[in-house]
Structure 1
Amino acid sequence: MEIREQILTKATAYRDYTAQTLSEMVKIPSYSSQEEAVCKMIAKACEDAGFDEVRIDGLGSVVARIGKGPKKIAFDAHIDTVEVGDPSQWKFDPFCGLIQDGLVHGRGASDQKGGAASMITAGRILKDLGYDGAYTVYFTFTVMEEDCDGMCWKYLIEEEHLKPDFVVSTEPTSCRLYRGHRGRMEIVAKLKGVSAHGSAPERGVSAAYKASRAALAMEKLNEALQPDDDHFLGKGTIVVSQMDVKGPSQCAVPDQAMLYLDRRLTWGENAELAISQVKKYMAEATGDNEEQIEVYMPQYTKRGYKNADYGQELYFPTWKIDESHPLVQAGVSAYKDLYGKQPVVDKWTFSTNCVATTGRHKIPAIGFGPGDENQAHAPNEITRIDDLEICAAFYAMLVYALDGKK
């Protein structure tokens, strides 16, 4: 029996196993920095599936390995989730893990424990087939992505010195093959006014009015941003996500204002450019000199469940790889061999851990994952069991495609 047929047969045989694995993950709440219980469950699942090595890194991510070849590929899934939000918007318990009507229900089913479940099954398939080719295959189940995407991989590369040749993100792609996404950064802008008694506002300079004009300037900047040259990633964006105004009292002209900005970066845009644009547009709107407006990237630092403090600036570089890249072509070949048709090749709207592996460290990456982007962070989250089966087969097949042993 050909490798293709063996992989498809195994993925179908393990269909219920994959769905049940996902269900068990969903039942364990795992907000960022609180992933210990689900990491222990995943580590045991990998051990039970026969992985060659299973360990937990210094930040708390599970790193599982199959094979010992000279080349390295890593399949990545973050296993933390956002919180539930308004419970009244959920039609079922967010942590029920219900398997029904071909779906797995619950927080994280698509974003992105579904990818993690398919990875475990793919590893089991590779072990069943006795894979011993040119690749060491890593499966990383990473922490704290929802708080700071890519930081877990910054840690793996820079502190644990795990730098694979290729990376596959298993974030939801609706079983499409993705080869890039916009980057992002968070920006703080601070404006100053002059306080005065509220009964005589003409004596002061209102930071609130400055902030309002600055916010409208960001709307203008957003409209002016341009797409990348080949229109693959699309235009950058900027949005004011928070505003805060302060003064000496409730009865005073406020003298301090803060705007928090979410900036999405297309190809060719970087942090220096984005900060200079904010200063320019705000200065024109408020009448301040650019030097009077403080604009900077904040830092993120948080203690994970292993009591390790780690952080970085909130900058997540844009990335893409060409459709002709060998990794993309191996993905196309693997999918076509399995399913007899070309995959849709596209990009994510949101950001992933590839901002670190590829944006920061230039490791070629693709994305292929179960579930849909629009399920991410939404109430009543679900993923299709069909997708889980497809992805488990694809991950295993990709290793053989790269190895030239299809």
Structure 2
Amino acid sequence: MNFDAIKSAAKGYEADMTRFLRDLIAIPSESSNEEGVIRRIAAEMEKVGFDKVEIDGEGNVLGWMGNGEKIIAYDAHIDTVGIGNRENWKFDPYEGYENETEIGGRGGSDQEGGIVSSVYGAKIMKDMNLIPEDVTVLVTGTVQEEDCDGLCWQYIHNEDKITPEFVISTEPTDGGIYRGHRGRMEIRVDVRGVSCHGSAPERGDNAIFKMADILQDVRSLNENGDGPSNEVKGLVKMLNPAFNPEHYEDAQFLGRGTVTVSEIFFTSPSRCAVADSCSVSLDRRMTAGETWDSCIKEIENLPAVKKYAKDVKVSMYMYDRPAWTGLKYETECYFPTWINKETAPHIQALADAHKGLYGDKRVGTPTSSEIALEKRKAPLIDKWTFSTNGVSIQGRYGIPCVGFGPGAESQAHAPNEITWKEDLVACAALYAAVPSLYKGKGTEDVSVYRGGKTNNDIK
């Protein structure tokens, strides 16, 4: 394989990729409002010569090249979060900007740069005859990930009936090859009370007071140690073989789980009455060894929850927001943890491509972000801090998944978001080289750890 020729071809498309990314940034595309970006991607795919381009029922764009039985897929979610407080931005988040090395704008790192590199990576493959006869390349621009990680791949797997040999997630990886990440779930806690006039609160039962006790226990769950003096053992316990004998090493690789309160709601007849209900949303990040049901039971077993048990309900959220197409594809808000073996063939295909193109160290020197620069010094093969569509691809369905994408995790959801032109080029080159270096998945399970499905009756 002529790695220098691939690098040269990718560098030759830098201006085209920059223009394409700036076009995408200029089109607001928050979850369930991605139609404009989807159609712009479809147009670019047709322009560069994809064999087939289609938009499925959920609104994902699928671009195909090749005719082989094995599908190697490149996934990029193309929805973004909002811009938050506009005053925190030093430039227009949709107009963006570019200079010699950077591109600024909402979605640059998270995660529209990924679709740009994968579209042009596929073009390089076709131009240089790098698609093996037994391979079909699929590039997906997927929707609703920011709202519900992996929902798009539930649809692609279950309704489009597509099961790739493996999938490269093009989420930002700070120049690394990522083989897993923590999972997450969204938990709701509801507390009932009894209202009365605020001048005599003893006549009622204040739901907010009960919730306050519960939240102190939730805080302890996140902050406490796991020693004998801790009535509520902290989530750090999953790093300890005494509490997590089968998976503590995997948990140490991924990092400990966390829990935080993300929303709070209440009902009360008026501001001069006792609140008769209070509810909170919990964002629960899960490490290896934690499951959806263990996380629910963990909240149910908190001292304050048990104290008010008859008035407390702990449940998992469901997601039913319609896609931009109008489709409502309901699912549970559970997003499984997953880790690959470093020796897995699809991981090694990326490692071999990287070594042939750039060596065994991360490339790129993003000088505008000290956090991103530090990440470039990490091992080449590592893991994400946040979660991705891999929660469904590998976590739910066991389809091998691996990450390599332009941009930096530190830029995700942040004001003044940027990405780097050098990353777009490096990723396009690596994507182009991978199919020819992939040796097949064999018979061995590539997963070190996989959260899997729940027993809930969903598609």
Does the alignment pair 1:221 with 2:221?
Answer: yes
Write the mapping of 1:6-405 to structure 2, written as runs, cut at 5 A: 6-133=5-132, 134-223=134-223, 224-225=234-235, 226-227=238-239, 229-230=248-249, 231-281=252-302, 284-285=303-304, 288=307, 290=309, 292-343=311-362, 344-402=380-438
Amino acid at match of 2:438: L
Residues 339 and 132 of structure 1: CA distance in aligned 2, closer, same or farther (over 3 Å): closer
Amino acid at match of 1:359: G
Amino acid at match of 2:267: K
Amino acid at match of 2:105: G
Q: Deviations over 1:167-208 (max 9, x none)?
A: 110000112100001100001111122323211222222111
Maintained 8 Å contact 2:183/2:287: yes
Cα distance in 1 for partners of 2:286, 2:28 equals 32
TM-superposed deviation, 1:279: 1.0
SS at match of 1:122: helix
Cα distance in 2 for partners of 1:91, 1:250 equals 40
SS at match of 1:296: strand
Q: Deviations over 1:204-228 (max 9, x none)?
A: 2211111111111101111311235
TM-superposed deviation, 1:403: 5.2
Cα distance in 1 for partners of 2:310, 2:356 equals 58
Deviation larger for 139-148 or 292-301 = 292-301
Maintained 8 Å contact 2:131/2:436: no
Amino acid at match of 2:399: I
Q: Deviations over 1:251-275 (max 9, x none)?
A: 2222211011000011121110001
Maintained 8 Å contact 2:178/2:381: yes
Cα distance in 1 for partners of 2:217, 2:278 equals 15
2:452 — aligned with what?
none
TM-superposed deviation, 1:53: 1.0
TM-superposed deviation, 1:97: 3.8
Cα distance in 1 for partners of 2:177, 2:218 equals 33
TM-superposed deviation, 1:342: 4.5
Cα distance in 2 for partners of 1:311, 1:19 equals 36
Amino acid at match of 1:86: N
SS at match of 2:24: helix
Maintained 8 Å contact 1:135/1:403: no
Amino acid at match of 2:49: G
Cα distance in 1 for partners of 2:59, 2:348 equals 33
Residues 289 and 388 of structure 1: CA distance in aligned 2, closer, same or farther (over 3 Å): same
Cα distance in 2 for partners of 1:276, 1:204 equals 29
Q: Deviations over 1:15-37 (max 9, x none)?
A: 11111111111111111111111
Amino acid at match of 2:321: K
RMSD over aligned Cα atoms: 1.4
Cα distance in 2 for partners of 1:255, 1:292 equals 11
Deviation larger for 222-231 or 389-398 = 222-231
2:371 — aligned with what?
none
Maintained 8 Å contact 1:24/1:97: no
SS at match of 2:330: strand
Cα distance in 2 for partners of 1:54, 1:166 equals 20
Maintained 8 Å contact 1:189/1:260: yes
Cα distance in 2 for partners of 1:140, 1:311 equals 21
Amino acid at match of 1:141: G
TM-superposed deviation, 1:248: 2.6
TM-score by length of 2: 0.85
Cα distance in 2 for partners of 1:175, 1:101 equals 19
TM-superposed deviation, 1:245: 2.4
Maintained 8 Å contact 1:22/1:97: no
Deviation larger for 168-177 or 238-247 = 238-247
TM-superposed deviation, 1:286: 5.3
Maintained 8 Å contact 2:305/2:312: no
Maintained 8 Å contact 2:179/2:403: yes
Maintained 8 Å contact 2:349/2:439: no
Amino acid at match of 2:35: E
Maintained 8 Å contact 1:68/1:132: no
TM-score by length of 1: 0.96
SS at match of 1:63: strand
Cα distance in 1 for partners of 2:426, 2:324 equals 33
Amino acid at match of 1:285: A
TM-superposed deviation, 1:293: 1.6
2:228 — aligned with what?
none
Cα distance in 2 for partners of 1:301, 1:267 equals 28
TM-superposed deviation, 1:247: 2.3
Amino acid at match of 1:163: T
TM-superposed deviation, 1:141: 0.4
Maintained 8 Å contact 2:193/2:311: no
Amino acid at match of 1:233: L
Cα distance in 1 for partners of 2:130, 2:216 equals 58
Amino acid at match of 1:347: K
Maintained 8 Å contact 1:180/1:320: yes
Maintained 8 Å contact 1:332/1:342: no
Cα distance in 2 for partners of 1:170, 1:247 equals 46
TM-superposed deviation, 1:166: 0.2
Maintained 8 Å contact 1:330/1:398: yes
Cα distance in 2 for partners of 1:46, 1:390 equals 20
Cα distance in 1 for partners of 2:172, 2:190 equals 36
